């Protein structure tokens, strides 16, 4: 029973956080050992030198058994060097958050510009393709045709998030490869006490260890994708989603530093909370329902209030089942973006797009730098 309780404690569900304090350098914190029903064996009085160098101790053997039976990766607990609340470690994540957010929206603006520029050419290509399709004999086999019909039946939002779901599925499969466990924990879980601080802020957004965790997050993303993309456009949606993953992780970093409760977190919940909050803020009167209880409906505004209240309570009371700081940071970022961010960031992209247009058309055949703004 002790081993089963340990396995339950290590199972990842929600925006999971394993937080505990480390004492003395032991690989397993004392509080964790007590929760798992595992106690450190008493040290033998005078071990021989050969046994100290080559033979494993009873404690190390027990740790190996715990790691083997829980079927979960070994989460190395770390504390920041120096003061446990050394906020100077947050400087690099803060710069990364600002820089990554700026690059995301800049790339989205360029992406939208290129899409609009190629739309006319795509129109003529489609006409030519339709003409050739009528001239060619019909192909045998309907698998490819069925796939194309299914893809065309999806909304633009669903087609947009298909790549996100595929990336999450690939990372989920990588968690099942034993040789990748150490790298996955280092780069695909976010922890302010880790040596890798910046890259996990975005990589952990695509990382899920539990299948139920990934399935729940991807279902919510799929459900709100149509409304979100129709409201923002696919380019702006992708910029908001990626930025939300980094922003929510940074809020989690700040909270862990302030409270001293360190531990790895992973999952797309923070970014999905931004999408949910943005849709609920833009369409507060929309009716929502829970998948298992479709008979009970509620407005989007009430759902958002309940989610924010729940995560605020979890953050204040110190609940550790979810990373409530990341959830709350994602929700507040979504509300802020709809209220102010869209006006401040996206609607002021024109100077940047003009700069890109001038750089792209400069030196082209038959074009001069003075003609850059005429297209």
Active site residues: 269, 327
Q: Which residues contact 162 (CB under 8 A, 6 or more apart)?
A: 154
> End-to-end CA distance of the chain, in Å?
71
Tokens 């339709």 -> residue: 130
Going by the DSSP 8-state scheme, the letter that residue 341 receives in this structure is I
User: CB neighbours (10 Å) of residue 300?
Assistant: 21
To 10 degrees, the CA torsion angle through 361, 366, 369, 375? -60
Number of H helices, E strands in the chain: 16, 2
To 10 degrees, the CA torsion angle through 303, 309, 315, 320? -50
> Radius of gyration of the chain from Cα atoms?
25
**Residue 158, CB-side half-sphere exposure with 13 Å CA sphere:** 8
Which two structure tokens, joined as six digits, stand for 201? Answer: 């802020």
Distance between CA 307 and CA 315 in Å, rounded? 12
Distance between CA 183 and CA 196 in Å, rounded? 11
* Rounded alpha-carbon distances, angstroms, from residue 164 to 73, 158, 167, 210, 237: 24, 10, 5, 17, 12
Which two structure tokens, joined as six digits, stand for 310? Answer: 């729940």
Distance between CA 327 and CA 278 in Å, rounded? 13
Q: Which residues contact 203 (CB under 8 A, 6 or more apart)?
A: 171, 187, 188
Angle, alpha carbons 147-151-153 (nearest 5°): 115
Distance between CA 349 and CA 356 in Å, rounded? 11
Sign of the C-alpha dihedral computed for residues 189, 191, 194 and 199 taken in this order: positive
């Amino acid at each position: 029973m002790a081993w089963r309780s340990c396995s339950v404690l290590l199972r990842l569900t929600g925006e999971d956080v394993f937080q505990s304090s480390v004492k003395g350098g032991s690989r397993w914190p004392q509080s964790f050992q007590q929760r798992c029903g595992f106690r450190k064996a008493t040290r033998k009085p005078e071990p021989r030198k050969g046994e100290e160098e080559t033979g494993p101790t009873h404690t190390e053997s027990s740790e190996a058994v715990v790691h083997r039976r829980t079927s979960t990766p070994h989460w190395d607990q770390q504390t920041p060097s120096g003061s446990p609340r050394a906020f100077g470690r947050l400087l690099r994540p803060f710069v990364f958050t600002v820089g990554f957010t700026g690059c995301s929206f800049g790339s989205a603006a360029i992406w939208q510009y290129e899409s609009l520029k190629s739309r006319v050419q795509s129109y003529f290509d489609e006409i030519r393709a339709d003409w050739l399709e009528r001239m060619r004999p019909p192909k045998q086999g309907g698998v490819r045709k069925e796939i194309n019909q299914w893809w065309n039946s999806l909304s633009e939002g669903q087609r947009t998030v298909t790549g996100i779901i595929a990336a999450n599925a690939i990372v989920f499969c990588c968690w099942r490869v034993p040789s990748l466990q150490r790298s996955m924990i280092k780069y695909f879980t976010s922890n302010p006490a880790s040596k890798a601080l910046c890259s996990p802020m975005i990589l952990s957004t695509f990382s899920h260890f539990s299948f139920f965790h990934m399935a729940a997050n991807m279902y919510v993303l799929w459900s709100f994708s149509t409304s979100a993309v129709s409201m923002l456009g696919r380019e702006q949606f992708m910029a908001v989603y990626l930025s939300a993953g980094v922003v929510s992780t940074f809020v989690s970093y700040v909270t862990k530093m302030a409270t001293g409760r360190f531990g790895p977190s992973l999952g797309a919940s923070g970014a999905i909370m931004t999408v949910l909050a943005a849709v609920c803020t833009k369409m507060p009167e929309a009716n929502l329902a829970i998948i298992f209880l479709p008979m009970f409906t509620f407005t989007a505004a009430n759902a958002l209030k309940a989610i924010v209240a729940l995560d605020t309570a979890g953050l204040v009371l110190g609940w550790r089942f979810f990373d409530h700081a990341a959830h709350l940071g994602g929700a507040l970022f979504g509300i802020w973006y709809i209220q102010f961010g869209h006006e401040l960031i996206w609607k002021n992209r024109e100077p940047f797009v003009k700069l890109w247009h001038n750089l792209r058309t400069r030196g082209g055949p038959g074009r001069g730098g003075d003609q850059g703004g005429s297209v």
